[in-house]
């Protein structure tokens, strides 16, 4: 299981790791693909000749607006089509050939990135029931080991789950969630062996390690126990769309076929999640869409009861709940675009007019999260782009703020399962400061550092400088950028730049510590996060200004931000590299089409690039639940707007930057065929001689490899791709091999 003796070339690993059945198909299919397609290179041609996918016109689109998709045939839901698999193998072979000269650099990067990870590491224990639980990493092992100890015998450490042992028979393995039963002896855990985010829930006893025969297939990872420990609630995924659509109750010791349907979500724009309330009084069933939510509850003491909504769903109303004593606390955007904290008892919860306001943040302040204790409330607030933790009395009276010395920073409320606790636990990180777990006592005002992440490889935070700046976008919006660099490298000259953004779903891209980026900073780069519209860095309005008919703001912000960094002398105009994944990969596709001259290279990870075709197909996972994010292409005006930026549809005959594109064969979020089709069309139409490579992980999905070390093989390959394509300038002297 040790990663250090493995081949550090990701593409080679990807092709070697093909499951045996697919390997056999590929061996035969390469011959079929080459002989059956006139446009494909012959076996005698150099391996560095890029693959050429055949064109097979196919009409797709709403009535009255047909589109021709010449690469539609690349979609294969079985993932066994010989011609498709041979094309993927050819792409991996081509990428490996292009990257072969950089293998020594990849190996160097991989070694230095993984050297920053502590060989042995533990998280801060959290008390759940009668035990303290924590996660441990052992030297050379890829996966965590979950352990526990009792406060009476802290020296006795008991293994809860050894993910390394569970992963042994599998090319891919991940445990997405585990929940301890009420008697401290049973554990239910959700495992994924395909990387398709379709989970199997298994059970075992902790005293003797015995696994139950019970196996729940086709599930989401959320799990909740009844109070007596005899029943487990879980969610079944739709086998085609993979939507979390139905909650079931399973009785231990019975077959899954006998499980009871508890709730089925009728609206395909909603997905489900479930959990046990912090108070252990309720099983909570969350139904959520892009801009509305509903929470149903079942008392854990009466698991056969029908679920009842706290408050029925309303258009554009989102809420979350905490239970304490006889009160329910709701984080709600009802008449509060940036959210406020409300309170009601259970009998009054179904009538929103009976909810009482507790905390109403001042205008411009976004109330992102909260936790309720018996003696106080803690909120996480975003105040003009900067996070803060604030302490209030239970009546909503402001008391104090948790001191934060490092800015721009990332703050997160961590696990705080005990409502009687006198302190609140939180996490703090910045672009140059490793993550710390801290505890703040509102009574004494004392902050205690419980753990600060250790970073090896000679890292010294004092060598780096971080800052937050703003620029004026083309429509007048003030857009923030968080950046970090090493002042003693390439001082007084513009630096090569690695720019990152996401900008969708209201997900805020936070300036937290990324140990791998040190490899670029130490080579003179500046790393910058452009906080484009579509996230919630500046509140709910920032999200609204980057979705549906405002989506183009996301793309314009990134382009304008790159130009600002150049104009400000912070970035070398000849060496601007951009990276983004998933919805951020959509952003990469748009800037490649609309501003290719700005960027030296683009990294598009699992990119969502075929917007129209995907959003027209309700059988594809996530489609129906995202109409309110991207638009519904069945509506003519929404179709036209989405088409105007869809990267696959807007590929044109022009010069493109160097590009590295990644995908996974089993990706359930962005299907593999989107980036493969996109690259095929780019190869055919682009007019430049720049490199375009596509790597397909044949054993993984949207999140890539599951191992602690192996995930950095792709990072090392990406950085080598960038470093080998730097334009020689005064700012790039010795960038490839300096540490």
Mind listing the pLDDT tens digit for each residue in 305-333? 999 999 999 999 999 999 999 999 999 99
pLDDT band at 239 (very low <50, low <70, confident <90, very high): confident
The pLDDT, as a whole number, for residue 44 is 38
The pLDDT, as a whole number, for residue 12 is 33
The pLDDT, as a whole number, for residue 21 is 36
pLDDT higher than 90, residue 715: yes
CA distances from 366 to 83, 92, 324, 538, 554 (A): 51, 45, 23, 7, 20
Neighbour tally for 335: CB within 10 Å:
10
pLDDT band at 493 (very low <50, low <70, confident <90, very high): confident
- Per the CB < 8 A criterion, the answer to whether 450 and 439 are in contact is yes
pLDDT band at 621 (very low <50, low <70, confident <90, very high): confident
The answer to whether 86 is a known catalytic residue is no
Mind listing the pLDDT tens digit for each residue in 374-393? 999 999 999 888 999 999 99
Helix, coil or strand: residue 495: strand
CA distances from 18 to 12, 15, 94, 173, 213 (A): 10, 6, 17, 15, 30
* CA–CA separation, 680 and 221 (whole Å): 35
Q: What is the mean pLDDT of residues 349-378?
A: 96
pLDDT higher than 60, residue 373: yes
Give me the chain's average pLDDT, please: 91
pLDDT band at 27 (very low <50, low <70, confident <90, very high): very low
Please list the residues that pair with 298 across neighbouring strands. 283
pLDDT band at 729 (very low <50, low <70, confident <90, very high): confident
* CA–CA separation, 214 and 252 (whole Å): 7
Least confident window among 477-486, 545-554, 656-665, 727-736: 727-736
- Per the CB < 8 A criterion, the answer to whether 517 and 641 are in contact is no
- Per the CB < 8 A criterion, the answer to whether 91 and 696 are in contact is yes
The pLDDT, as a whole number, for residue 241 is 87
Please list the residues that pair with 286 across neighbouring strands. 273, 295
The predicted model scores a pTM of 0.91
Q: Which domains does the chain have, with CATH numbers?
A: 1-115+582-729 (3.40.50.1820), 120-363 (2.130.10.120), 466-577 (3.40.50.1820)
- Per the CB < 8 A criterion, the answer to whether 602 and 588 are in contact is yes
The answer to whether 702 is a known catalytic residue is yes
pLDDT higher than 60, residue 18: no
pLDDT higher than 60, residue 45: no
How far from each other are the two terminal CA atoms of the chain, in whole angstroms?
A: 28
Mind listing the pLDDT tens digit for each residue in 418-459? 999 999 999 999 999 999 999 999 999 999 999 999 999 999
pLDDT band at 63 (very low <50, low <70, confident <90, very high): confident
pLDDT higher than 80, residue 31: no
pLDDT higher than 90, residue 5: no
The pLDDT, as a whole number, for residue 196 is 87
Mind listing the pLDDT tens digit for each residue in 256-277? 999 999 999 999 999 999 999 9
Helix, coil or strand: residue 255: coil
Class of residue 253 by CB neighbours under 10 A (exposed 0-12, middle 13-18, buried 19+): exposed
CB neighbour list of residue 264: distance below 8 Å, 6 or more residues apart: 245, 246, 247
Of 171 and 739, the structure prediction assigns the larger pLDDT to 171
pLDDT higher than 80, residue 251: yes
Tell me: cis bond preceding 501? Omega within 30 of 0 counts.
no
Helix, coil or strand: residue 446: strand
C-alpha 416: how far from chain center:
23
Class of residue 660 by CB neighbours under 10 A (exposed 0-12, middle 13-18, buried 19+): buried
The radius of gyration of the chain from alpha carbons, rounded to an integer in Å, stands at: 26
pLDDT band at 733 (very low <50, low <70, confident <90, very high): low
Active-site position among 557, 646, 702, 731:
702
Active-site position among 522, 560, 572, 667:
667
CB neighbour list of residue 571: distance below 8 Å, 6 or more residues apart: 494, 495, 496, 497, 499, 526, 528, 562, 565
Active-site position among 245, 292, 430, 582:
582
String of DSSP letters for 17-42 = T--HHHHHHHHHHHHHHHHH-TTSPP
Class of residue 60 by CB neighbours under 10 A (exposed 0-12, middle 13-18, buried 19+): middle
Q: What is the mean pLDDT of residues 686-703?
A: 92
CA distances from 362 to 331, 337, 384 (A): 15, 12, 11
The answer to whether 460 is a known catalytic residue is no
* CA–CA separation, 452 and 70 (whole Å): 53
The pLDDT, as a whole number, for residue 23 is 40
The pLDDT, as a whole number, for residue 37 is 38
Q: What is the mean pLDDT of residues 710-714?
A: 93
pLDDT band at 111 (very low <50, low <70, confident <90, very high): very high
C-alpha 315: how far from chain center:
26
């Amino acid at each position: 299981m040790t990663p250090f003796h493995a081949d550090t070339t990701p593409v080679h690993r990807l092709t070697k790791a093909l499951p045996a059945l697919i390997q056999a198909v590929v061996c035969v299919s390469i011959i079929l693909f080459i002989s059956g397609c006139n446009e494909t290179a012959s076996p005698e041609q150099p391996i560095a000749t890029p693959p050429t996918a055949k064109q097979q016109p196919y009409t797709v689109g709403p009535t009255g607006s047909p589109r021709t998709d010449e690469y539609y045939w690349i979609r294969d839901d079985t993932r066994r089509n010989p011609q498709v698999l041979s094309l993927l193998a050819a792409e991996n072979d081509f990428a490996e050939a292009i990257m072969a000269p950089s293998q020594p650099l990849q190996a160097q990067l991989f070694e230095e990135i993984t050297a920053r990870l502590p060989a042995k590491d533990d998280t801060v224990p959290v008390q759940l029931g009668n035990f303290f639980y924590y996660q441990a990493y052992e030297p050379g092992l890829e996966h965590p080991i979950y352990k526990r100890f009792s406060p009476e015998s802290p020296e006795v450490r008991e293994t809860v789950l050894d993910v390394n042992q569970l992963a042994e028979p599998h090319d891919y393995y991940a445990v997405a969630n585990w929940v301890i039963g009420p008697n401290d002896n049973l554990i239910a855990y959700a495992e994924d062996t395909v990387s398709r985010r379709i989970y199997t829930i298994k059970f075992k006893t902790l005293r003797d390690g015995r696994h139950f025969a019970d196996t729940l297939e086709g599930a989401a990872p959320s799990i909740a126990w009844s109070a007596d420990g005899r029943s487990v609630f879980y969610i079944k995924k739709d086998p085609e769309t993979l939507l979390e659509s139905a909650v079931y109750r399973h009785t231990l010791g019975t077959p899954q076929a006998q499980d009871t349907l508890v709730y089925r979500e009728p609206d395909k724009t909603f997905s489900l999640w479930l959990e046990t309330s912090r108070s252990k009084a309720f099983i909570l069933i969350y139904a959520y869409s892009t801009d509305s939510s509903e929470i149903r509850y079942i008392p854990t003491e009466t698991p056969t009861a029908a679920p009842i909504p706290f408050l029925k769903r309303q258009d554009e109303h989102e809420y979350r709940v905490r239970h304490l004593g006889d009160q329910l606390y709701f984080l709600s955007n009802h008449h509060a675009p940036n959210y406020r904290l409300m309170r009601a008892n259970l009998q009054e919860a179904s009538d929103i007019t009976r909810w009482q306001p507790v905390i109403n943040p001042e205008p411009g302040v976004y109330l992102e999260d909260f936790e309720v204790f018996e003696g106080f409330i803690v909120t996480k607030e975003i105040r003009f782009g900067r996070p803060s933790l604030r302490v209030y009395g239970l009546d909503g009276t402001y008391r104090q703020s948790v001191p934060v010395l490092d800015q721009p920073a990332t703050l997160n409320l961590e696990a705080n399962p005990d409502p009687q606790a006198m302190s609140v636990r939180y996490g703090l990180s910045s672009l140059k400061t490793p993550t710390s777990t801290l505890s703040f006592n509102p009574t004494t005002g004392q902050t205690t550092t419980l753990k600060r992440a250790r970073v090896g490889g000679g890292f010294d935070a004092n060598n780096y400088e971080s800052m937050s700046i703003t620029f004026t976008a083309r429509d007048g919006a003030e857009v923030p950028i968080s950046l970090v660099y090493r002042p003693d490298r390439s001082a007084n000259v513009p630096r090569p730049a690695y720019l990152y953004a996401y900008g969708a779903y209201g997900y805020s891209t936070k300036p937290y510590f990324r140990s791998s980026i040190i490899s670029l900073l130490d080579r003179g780069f500046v790393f910058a996060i452009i906080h484009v519209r579509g996230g919630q860095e500046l509140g709910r309005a920032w999200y609204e200004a980057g979705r549906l008919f405002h989506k183009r703001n996301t793309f314009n912000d990134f382009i304008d931000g790159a130009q600002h960094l150049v104009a400000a002398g912070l970035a070398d105009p000849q060496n601007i590299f951009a990276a983004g994944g998933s919805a951020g990969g959509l952003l990469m596709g748009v800037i490649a089409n609309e501003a290719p001259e700005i960027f030296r290279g683009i990294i598009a990870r699992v990119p969502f690039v075929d917007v129209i075709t995907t959003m027209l197909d309700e059988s594809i996972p996530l489609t129906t639940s995202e109409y309110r994010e991207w638009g519904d292409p069945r509506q003519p005006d929404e179709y036209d707007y989405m088409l105007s930026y869809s990267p696959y549809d807007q590929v044109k005959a022009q010069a493109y930057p160097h590009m590295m594109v990644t995908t996974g064969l089993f990706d359930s979020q962005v299907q593999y065929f989107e980036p493969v089709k996109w690259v095929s069309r780019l190869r055919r139409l682009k007019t430049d001689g720049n490199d375009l490579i596509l790597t397909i992980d044949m054993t993984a999905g949207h999140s890539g490899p599951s191992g602690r070390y192996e995930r950095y093989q792709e990072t090392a390959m990406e950085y080598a791709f960038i470093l080998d394509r730097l334009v020689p300038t005064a700012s790039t002297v010795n960038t490839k091999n300096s540490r």
